């Protein structure tokens, strides 16, 4: 029996519990390290998913980020979430730098068919794809705010801390990003049903 609950499904994990598990992982507890890896993967995947073009790239990049977290865990100080998102941000920068150097088309760069024909799954996939395309028109900081706030579920204070900005600056970025997304979707006929 594991001595830590599954973190992969727990988005409500409090900071004290997370800190305890991270501290145990730093001391070499393999079960705690495994839980930290699962927790980081679950937090970072959607962050990368909405910033790269293919789910496979998001999976590979998220795995790379988890590995970087493990390698640097002993040096981690301060807010754990801010630290992992900083690592993710730098990994994304490296990912796009490498992409710019080698402009090649592969089969994975082509669009994929949805294997599961259920309407719900297909609708979710379509919605995610539309959102990802809409976010390409945003600035890097606007994308980061949208992902952290609405996809990851952090509040404005947490987003501000992760990004090193004031809460007011985060609110302005959020407002401009939502306005741009609203314009993008209305131009394409994806009007809200509200």
Read off the tokens for 7: 């973190």
- State which of 103, 133, 163 marks the end of a domain: 103
Q: What is the pTM of this model?
A: 0.63
Domain of residue 27, residue span? 1-103
Whether residues 87 and 133 fall in one domain = no
Whether the CB-CB separation of 60 and 31 falls below 8 Å is answered with no
Using 50, 70 and 90 to split pLDDT, how confident is the model at 94? confident
Summary mean pLDDT of the chain: 78
Whether residues 11 and 61 fall in one domain = yes
In the predicted structure, residue 154 carries a pLDDT above the cut 80: yes
Q: Is 108 within the bounds of a domain?
A: no
Distances, alpha carbon 155 to alpha carbons 12, 76, 152, 161, 174, in Å: 13, 23, 9, 10, 12
Domains in the chain, number: 2
Whether residues 24 and 95 fall in one domain = yes
Mean pLDDT score, 9-18: 68
Q: Is 109 within the bounds of a domain?
A: no
Sign of CA dihedral 186, 52, 100, 174: positive
| CATH number where 150 lies | 1.10.10.10
Sign of CA dihedral 136, 142, 148, 151: negative
Whether residues 136 and 180 fall in one domain = yes
In the predicted structure, residue 140 carries a pLDDT above the cut 90: no
Whether the CB-CB separation of 14 and 95 falls below 8 Å is answered with no
| Tens of pLDDT, residues 38-91 | 889 988 988 888 888 788 888 999 999 999 999 999 999 888 988 999 999 899
Q: What angle do CA 167, 139, 46 make, to 5 degrees?
A: 80
């Amino acid at each position: 029996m594991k001595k830590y609950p599954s973190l992969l499904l727990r988005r409500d994990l409090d900071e004290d519990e997370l800190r305890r598990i991270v501290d145990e992982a730093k001391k070499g507890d393999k079960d705690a390290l495994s839980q930290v890896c699962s927790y980081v993967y679950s937090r970072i995947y959607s962050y990368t998913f909405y910033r790269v073009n293919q789910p496979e790239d998001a999976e590979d990049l998220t795995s790379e980020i988890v590995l970087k977290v493990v390698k640097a865990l002993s040096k981690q100080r301060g807010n754990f979430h801010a630290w992992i998102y900083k690592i993710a941000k730098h990994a994304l920068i490296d990912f796009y730098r490498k992409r710019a150097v080698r402009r090649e088309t592969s089969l994975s760069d082509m669009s994929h068919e949805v294997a599961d024909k259920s309407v719900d799954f297909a609708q979710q996939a379509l919605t995610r794809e539309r959102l990802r395309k809409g976010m390409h028109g945003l600035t890097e900081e606007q994308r980061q705010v949208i992902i952290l706030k609405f996809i990851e579920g952090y509040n404005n204070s947490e987003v501000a801390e992760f990004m090193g900005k004031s809460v007011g600056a985060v609110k302005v970025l959020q407002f401009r990003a939502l306005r741009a997304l609203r314009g993008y979707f209305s131009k394409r006929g994806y009007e809200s049903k509200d």
